[in-house]
Amino acid sequence: MLLAAERQPDNVQAAASLGEYYVHKQNWRAGVRWLSKAYKLSDGNESIGYDLALAQMQAGDLEGAKKQAGQMLERAESAKLHNLLGAIEDKRGQYLEAATEYHRAAEIDPSESNIFDLATFLLQHKRFAGFVEASVKFFRYGVAQFPRSSQMMVGLGVALYASEQYDEAVRVLCAAVDLDPKDSRPIEFLGKARKVSPELGVEVDRRLQDFAVRYPHNAAICYYYAFSLWQRGGGEEGKNLDKIHTLLMEAESRAPDWYEPPYQLGVVYESEKLYPDAIREMRKTVRIEPGFAPAHFRLAVLYGRTGDKAKAAAESAIVERIKSQDRKDDTGQTEVKK
């Protein structure tokens, strides 16, 4: 492909195909080189120009990407280009301009993806006055227009939660689970939502119990229902321990790369003084997520209780290294902000 493009320096298709190949391989700079050539040879082909702006953005040339997209918009307005320009302005840190571009894209073409991109962008930058309220508004519109869209329903639930409309957030997230039981996102937010108030916690627990019956092999549902049982007496009073064991083991088997189920199962075993089992689960946790300090801390405690002082000391040292690195990261972030 490279030889063909070099042998035919005036061949638009050869240059464009090579540029697309490099973009597919995420070799953005090489993609920019050949797409720039193809765009010039094509006398401003819209499709090639869009791909060029996208490649420039991904390559880090934000000013070049903005200029490319802006020049194309001067020739013909396009929802696709406005959406891309929104992403470019977002990366440039020009959030108000980005919001304007995403909004214009949704005005021109109120497709599911354009509405979702606009509402999601507003939610991601909720520190700006009015952005969360606007996000809720556009997610509501999106749900009304695309009632079978799980991602739109989840977005609305999260936006409602961010705007502290917790009761409605729970109802919407529950509906999102019914739309797509395989999507773990609404379950994760329901698990977080139960902490907001005792009244809400009871409602969420009831829903989790219902979902656990209806979707017994969903890892997220099993984990969060087990966690809710643990918080409602499993930990302090030893209630429902058999059920908690079963749910957490199901979550582990269904999501072997998820560190939270084995960690919680280790916590349960530790409460029962089943230290070898607790150690096994904590070791499994740190294999999946080596930087998870709570598991290393519990391993240090467990090794200490079982008389293995050397391993206890090693785990304590890991905890200190993680904490030290976290402090360095926090300091670095503070310096950058200044």
Which residue spans of the chain are classified as CATH 1.25.40.10?
1-76, 270-333
**Are the C-beta atoms of residues 101 and 83 closer than 8 Å to each other?**
yes
| Closest by CA position to 228, among listed 220, 177, 163, 294 | 220
- The pLDDT value given to residue 333: 45
pLDDT at 321: 94
Query: Letter for the amino acid at 324?
Result: S
Distance CA 157, CA 152 (A): 9
Walk along the chain (338 residues) and give the pLDDT tens digit of each residue.
555 555 566 778 888 999 999 999 999 999 999 899 999 999 889 999 999 999 999 999 999 999 999 999 999 999 999 999 999 999 999 999 999 999 999 999 999 999 999 999 999 998 888 999 999 999 999 999 999 999 999 999 999 989 989 888 888 988 888 888 778 788 878 877 766 766 777 778 888 888 888 889 999 999 999 998 898 877 778 888 999 999 999 999 999 999 999 999 999 999 999 999 999 999 999 999 999 999 999 999 999 999 999 999 999 999 999 998 887 766 554 333 33
Report the alpha-carbon distance of residue 70 to residue 86 in Å, rounded.
11
pLDDT of residue 237: 80
What pLDDT is stored for residue 198 in this prediction?
66
Per residue, the 3-state secondary structure of the chain, as one string, reads CHHHHHHCCCCHHHHHHHHHHHHHCCCHHHHHHHHHHHHHHCCCCHHHHHHHHHHHHHHCCHHHHHHHHHHHHHHCCCHHHHHHHHHHHHHHCCHHHHHHHHHHHHHHCCCHHHHHHHHHHHHHCCCCCCHHHHHHHHHHHHHHHCCCCHHHHHHHHHHHHHCCCHHHHHHHHHHHHHHCCCCCHHHHHHHHHCCCCHHHHHHHHHHHHHHHHHCCCCHHHHHHHHHHHHHHHHCCCCCCHHHHHHHHHHHHHHCCCCCHHHHHHHHHHHHCCCHHHHHHHHHHHHHHCCCCHHHHHHHHHHHHHCCCHHHHHHHHHHHHHHHHHHHHHHHHHHHHHC
CATH for 270-333 (2.40.70.10, 1.25.40.10, 3.40.190.290, 3.40.50.1950): 1.25.40.10
Count how many Cα atoms sit within 13 Å of the Cα of residue 134 in the half-sphere of its side chain.
Answer: 21
The pLDDT of residue 186:
86
**Predicted local confidence at residue 335, as pLDDT:** 39
Nearest partner of 11 among 33, 50, 40, judged by Cα: 40
Fold of 1-76: 1.25.40
Q: Of 62, 34, 63, 68, which Cα lies nearest the Cα of 49? A: 68
Phi, psi dihedral angles at 131 (to 5 degrees): -65, -40
Q: Is the Cβ–Cβ distance between 35 and 19 less than 8 Å?
A: yes
Q: What is the pLDDT of residue 89?
A: 97
pLDDT at 247: 96
